[in-house]
Structure 1
Amino acid sequence: MVLPALMLFVAVVLIPLAMTVLLSFNDWGQYKGIEQVFILKNWREIWEDDYFLEMFLRTFRIAVLATLITALLGAPEAYILNRMQGRWKGFFLLVILGPLLISVVARTLGWALLFGGANGVVNKALMSLGVIGAPIPFMFTETGVVVALAHVMMPFMVLSVWAALQRVDPQIENAAMSLGAGHATILRRIVLPQIMPGILSGAIIVFSLSASAFATPSIIGGRRLKVAATLAYDEFLNTLNWPLGAAVAVLLLVALVLIVVGSNALIERRYAEVFR
């Protein structure tokens, strides 16, 4: 029964990945095109050129910041959503899930319109509220990419935390309140430890999707602010250096796999020690 699904997985995932890995070891020249030889030229170029290091550092920096923002805002959102009753709960759940029904390109273009320039909607609103004294450059900056990515990825964090909250017995909070615990103490010592697995799983999802995102960095960041995904795209379609683009894509995939597997191992070890 598993064989058809396994064959489909091999055909659409493993074979293209294997072909991409093999392509990363080929040679390329402007006049000779792709030459099917086994060399380490592309990997050596990535290792020795600080330009690629800067791209990957920027990629992971943006992903970490977007993950932190979604965790700080998404966990309270999920908690408030879980406390709602009746039709309001369904309405706000639809509001949270609504962005997932819209293309990521359309959402990102919306942020581009909001950011604008010095006279953009966001800058005007912040200045009218007295939050900032001068316009903040959002377009073609890491700040704008982080804000747009955090909005795009927020539903994944909210859903992860909300799923964890479904397993929390509300009577525990009532028992703590009857024993004299304040709301801050209940949140810090009872609710937060129980929803931490949801926050961590949501963080892994958001980080992985943010680090491999293409549409949002390419629209908000433009050509002046490249990340690993847009760099691989440029190598494939602009310079036509497919082997180098394949090496960048493979390196990004390997880095993400190592980070996710390492994070899962640390989380499992942590909770194994706690519940031992």
Structure 2
Amino acid sequence: MSETVAATRTPYLLTAPAGLVFLGLVIIPIGMTILLSFYDWGQYKGIVPEFTLKNWREIAGDSYFLEIFARTFRIAVITTLATILIGVPEAYILNRMAPPWRGIFLLAVIGPLLVSVVARTLGWALLFGSTGLVNQGLQAIGLIDEPLPFMFTETGVIVALTHVLMPFMILAVWAALQRLDPQVENAASSLGAGSMTIWFRVVLPQIVPGILSGSVIVFSLAASAFASPAIIGGRRLKVAATLAYDEFLNTLNWPLGAAVVTLLLIALIAIVVGSNRLIERRYAQVFE
């Protein structure tokens, strides 16, 4: 009996250290942030630990905050679609490569993850800024009269985020392709199916879980990104993360910043969980 009890307790004892770390570094800070969002604040009195819904009413009633959240999720959706359109074919090509070349190109995909996000984003700014190499080159050869707008635009933020988050989509889809039996494609080809038919009827349905996983990761990271929107978007093009930063460190209105962060977290959880269940349900109905 004692051996059975010990065997039952062993998993809990082994996971207890990780659980305590998760509790101390994730759950407790999030709980404190949510609690802070219900505190009052004044320019002269600072943070007042009194329960109030003032911060939430301000966010819900001011179109400025609604516009920022709409921009945040619009950028995240477009970035996710861009990584799908580029990353899925790239992962498929990577999977079909011979081993020596596959390792080289896989390193090229993973390599940017070793470079700071700030450095990569600044690289885009140096290339496509008003005085950047690309705009100056196009003006020098007479293709454009004025620099193409890149800085302080949604397009610039989307391009930078797509480049930063592309490896996550490629790796997620590539992992799904590793479980795909290549003989299935050969069998479909021997039965007369064309390359496009094989892709849409054989390959794509089997890698949908990988695309879904990559989309969840990319969408979450894009919606909560700070460095790329702060560098490319600047103060003219705020998103939820840069708005929270300004409230915490510029205006020092911590309760309002906490409310912005909490709302972003709730929205991300609701969107990710809801879309995940919806897509999985439709996927199961189509391919049952």
Indicate yes or no: 2:107 matched with 1:94: yes
Distance 1:186 1:128 in 2: 46
The one of 221, 225, 240 equivalent to 1:213 is: 225
Indicate yes or no: 2:211 matched with 1:199: yes
Indicate yes or no: 2:50 matched with 1:37: yes
The residue that corresponds to 2:19 in the other structure is: 6
Indicate yes or no: 2:59 matched with 1:46: yes
The residue that corresponds to 1:181 in the other structure is: 193
TM-score of the superposition, structure 2-length normalised? Answer: 0.91
Distance 2:222 2:233 in 1: 13
Distance 1:130 1:60 in 2: 37
Q: Tell me which amino acid in the other structure corresponds to 1:8.
A: V
Distance 1:7 1:258 in 2: 26
Structure 2, unaligned runs of 5 or more: 1-13
Distance 2:239 2:46 in 1: 25
Deviates further, 184-193 or 36-45? 184-193
The residue that corresponds to 2:9 in the other structure is: none
Q: Tell me which amino acid in the other structure corresponds to 1:258.
A: A
Distance 1:222 1:27 in 2: 29
Q: Residues 105-254 of structure 1: matches in 2 within 5 Å?
A: 105-117=118-130, 119-123=131-135, 135-254=147-266
Render the CA deviation track for 1:183-235: whole Å, top value 9, x for unaligned.
11111211111112111111111000000000000000001100000000000
Q: Tell me which amino acid in the other structure corresponds to 1:105.
A: V
Report the RMSD for the aligned CA atoms in angstroms: 1.9
The residue that corresponds to 1:265 in the other structure is: 277
Distance change in 2, residues 1:73/1:130 (3 Å): farther
Q: Which has the larger radius of gyration?
A: 2
Deviates further, 158-167 or 260-269? 260-269
Residue 177 (structure 1) shift: 1.3
The residue that corresponds to 1:78 in the other structure is: 91
TM-score of the superposition, structure 1-length normalised? Answer: 0.95
